[in-house]
């Protein structure tokens, strides 16, 4: 099979005045960034970062024009790297896609082989993109927490932003890994759904009154936080001694007003989760866990919507408006 002369892609442009336009257009392979591996894409997904990039409301793209989409999964069509052969099932998340190079919202994608991950046994292409960057971020959070000593025996781990993609997958991954997962959400109409994923306790964001002292009563053994700002600051005050907080998002803001007391009195660790640039050995280790012992048990429940390339724009608006729930899968193939 060869790449057709033209194919569909969701491309983002800038007029140089901080104004962006984006939409589906026809491209050729020579319009894409160079790379050793050409993939016929099957699926992608929509992450918060994709919504920021596609609408221009976040300074995500470093160069223009670029094809959007920080995730992609499909089959190798051609490769100059002998590590990959035609027909291999592969995936790629983050790694500069839709930031410094063309991303996954395209029928054909050309990538540097160093970022291409063979699809692990135990995952289908579709499942890998329901997981996508969101699930990889959740898995990387737990991976780093366990590297730093976190164990299920220490007690429950709380997940903030629990009704988002990262949050829902984090609950599922934690439960699969043997942890007691608790959830904090501002969307209580999703309480039953979060409980069905394995959350043993679901707490309204509006009911959090954990005090303002540098150290409050320790409640949780650890946390996976995608909110930041006041939420993250509050968590530092209520984590048990030698617990870990994985900081993986800033949906609530990028500020952090806290003290050093939790870190030097209780030995709490704040772990930064930079999923986009994760080194390949760690990337492969996390994906192996997500395909095996940590594989989320509720992927079909977490995937709340499937869209095509031409349907991306309204989903971006819904996500940035706080109206998203779960994961949105992007079906590339017609």
pLDDT 10s digits, 28-85 = 999 999 999 999 999 999 999 999 999 998 889 999 999 999 999 999 999 999 999 9
Return the number of other C-beta atoms located less than 10 Å from residue 242's C-beta: 15
pLDDT in tens, 260-316: 999 999 999 999 999 999 999 999 999 999 999 999 999 999 999 999 999 999 999
CA distance 143 to 131: 16
CA distance 85 to 78: 7
CB 97 within 8 A of CB 104: yes
- Residue whose token pair is 């095996």: 292
Q: Domains, the chain, ranges and CATH?
A: 7-119+299-331 (3.90.180.10), 134-272 (3.40.50.720)
Q: Has this prediction a pTM greater than 0.85?
A: yes
Q: What are phi and psi of 329, to 5 degrees?
A: -90, 140
Range 241-246 average pLDDT: 98
pLDDT in tens, 150-192: 999 999 999 999 999 999 999 999 999 999 999 999 988 889 9
pLDDT tier at 17, thresholds 50, 70, 90: low
CB 108 within 8 A of CB 77: yes
Closest CA to 162 of 254, 253, 226: 226
| The predicted structure's pLDDT at residue 18 | 66
- Provide the sign of the torsion angle of the four alpha carbons 189, 139, 158, 235, taken in this order: negative
| The predicted structure's pLDDT at residue 103 | 98
| The predicted structure's pLDDT at residue 188 | 82
Tokens representing 96 are 């500069």
Range 222-249 average pLDDT: 97
Q: What is the mean pLDDT of the chain?
A: 95
User: Is the bond into 255 cis (omega within 30 degrees of 0)?
Assistant: no
């Amino acid at each position: 099979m060869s790449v057709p002369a033209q194919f569909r892609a969701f491309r983002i442009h800038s007029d140089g005045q901080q104004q962006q336009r984006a939409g589906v257009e026809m491209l050729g392979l020579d319009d894409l960034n160079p790379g050793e591996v050409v993939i016929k894409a099957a699926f992608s997904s929509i992450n918060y970062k994709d919504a920021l990039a596609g609408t221009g409301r976040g300074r995500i793209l470093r160069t223009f024009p670029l094809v959007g989409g920080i995730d992609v999964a499909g089959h190798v069509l051609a490769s100059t790297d002998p590590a990959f052969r035609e027909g291999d099932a592969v995936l790629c998340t983050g790694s500069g896609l839709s930031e410094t190079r063309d991303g996954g919202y395209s029928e054909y994608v050309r990538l540097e082989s160093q970022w291409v991950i063979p699809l692990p046994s135990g995952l289908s292409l579709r499942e890998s993109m329901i997981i996508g960057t969101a699930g990889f971020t959740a898995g990387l959070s737990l991976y780093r927490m366990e590297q730093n000593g976190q164990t299920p025996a220490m007690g429950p781990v709380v997940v903030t932003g629990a009704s988002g993609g990262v949050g829902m997958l984090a609950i599922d991954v934690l439960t699969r890994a043997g942890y007691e997962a608790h959830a904090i959400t501002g969307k209580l109409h999703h309480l039953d759904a979060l409980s069905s994923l394995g959350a043993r306790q679901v707490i309204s964001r509006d009911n959090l009154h954990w005090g303002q002292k540098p150290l409050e009563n320790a409640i949780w053994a650890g946390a996976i936080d995608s909110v930041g700002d006041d939420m993250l600051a509050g968590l530092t005050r209520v984590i048990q001694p030698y617990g870990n907080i994985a900081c993986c998002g800033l949906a609530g803001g990028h500020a952090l007003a806290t003290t050093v007391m939790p870190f030097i009195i209780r030995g709490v660790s704040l772990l930064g989760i930079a999923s986009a640039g994760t080194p390949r050995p760690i990337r492969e280790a996390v994906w192996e866990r997500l395909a095996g012992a940590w594989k989320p048990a509720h992927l079909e429940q977490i995937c709340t919507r499937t869209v095509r390339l031409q349907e991306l724009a309204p989903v971006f608006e819904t996500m940035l408006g706080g109206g998203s729930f779960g994961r949105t899968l992007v079906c590339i193939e017609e």
